[in-house]
Amino acid sequence: MEGALTLRIPLSSPDITDAEIDAVTAVLRTNTLSLGPKLEAFESALASFHQMPHAIAVSSGTAALHLAIHALGIGPGDEVIVPSFTFIAVANAVRYESATPVFVDIDPATLNMDPASVEAAISSRTRAIIIVHNFGVPAEMEALMALARRHHLFVIEDACEAIGATYKNQHVGSFGDISVFAFYPNKQITTGEGGAILTRDSQLADRMRALRNQGRYPSGDWLQHAELGYNYRLSEMACALGIVQLSRLDQILVERQSVAERYDKLLVLNPLIERPPLQIKHRTISWFVYVLRLSSSLPIGTRDILLDIMIKQGIACARYFAPIHLQPAYQSLHQAQHAILPVTESISQRTLALPFFNRLSEDDAESVVSSLTSAIAEVSAGQKE
């Protein structure tokens, strides 16, 4: 998205301090760069933060999703209910195990999966629901968990964009059978590349630890593999970085909330922009991105024109999200399912993510909004001619 142009304001930027650099450097001065004490410490910190007994650090959020689905025994002939308005890894991980993702629509307020749409999609082949907390906004957990219990379905929480968010004072990632997190550089905290899995089930935890390490269990030696596994380990350097980042999470979330509030004030008077809510009842938001919606009064295609204008001005913006069921990799599956997702398809054409990170300055935020306002005026004037 950022292309070859020189961007004066990037879409995201990791917040790395000397403490993180020192922690990583200290690991590099040891002989243990993988499967060492930093891995155990990072997992312990993640588990403690979420009040969960087991955490398994892995190489990415996608790896975490894949291990969750595999460990639950989901496979050919099974269906897993997922939102289409999310990152494509959610559906890809289901297909890795030859199961079928069944796409459902979203709630127009939270942009998370709509419980009524989920209930309508449940069939005799449904094994699980992947509940995604889009953009750091907690999904409607009470209704979704009740559905899962009533139909005896597994719940995988995708909290890759939502670490630190809460639903009714409980951290997301502590509701489902398994939950997953991601620590890519654009996330609230980062390990460079990386992810994690949380669960209360000790047997699942043991199996996923083995699966991430080529199917090795502690009872065997390095060349003894009990089952087909994967190379989904997370390095000691990444874990050292994650430990410091996690220790700073509360302050990071405060800073990101402040940036969201700054944008909200700057955009409040523009009638052609619908701002994301700053507060939602019973939930605290962990701000991952700032995604606004353009007014439905603007013609289809306006968003993409604005995106091009902003990037040419050196300001990175992005589409969040392109519906999975309409993407080329899913055309055949979409044709087979005939998914009708009106809210997803309407909203996805009008969403625009603005530059968003902890240290976005007031001047840069004002510059972003000024450029966006001018671009909207320019496009609107051209459309009237």
Active site (catalytic) residues: 187
Spatial distance between the Cα atoms of 385 and 372, rounded to a whole number of angstroms: 20
Terminal Cα distance for the chain, rounded: 30
The answer, yes or no, to whether the previous bond of 135 is cis (omega within 30 of 0) is: no
Spatial distance between the Cα atoms of 148 and 166, rounded to a whole number of angstroms: 20
Whether residue 352 contacts residue 376, with contact meaning beta carbons closer than 8 Å, is answered with: no
Whether residue 352 contacts residue 317, with contact meaning beta carbons closer than 8 Å, is answered with: yes
State the burial class of residue 36 (Cβ atoms within 10 Å of its Cβ: 0-12, 13-18, 19+).
Answer: middle
Q: Which among 62, 66, 46 is positioned nearest to 54, based on CA atoms?
A: 46
Token couple for 51? 């009040």
Q: Which residues does 264 contact at the CB level (< 8 Å), separation at least 6? A: 275, 278
Q: Which residues does 22 contact at the CB level (< 8 Å), separation at least 6? A: none
Element (H, E) at 22: helix 18-28
Report phi then psi at 291, rounded to 5: -115, 115
Spatial distance between the Cα atoms of 67 and 229, rounded to a whole number of angstroms: 9
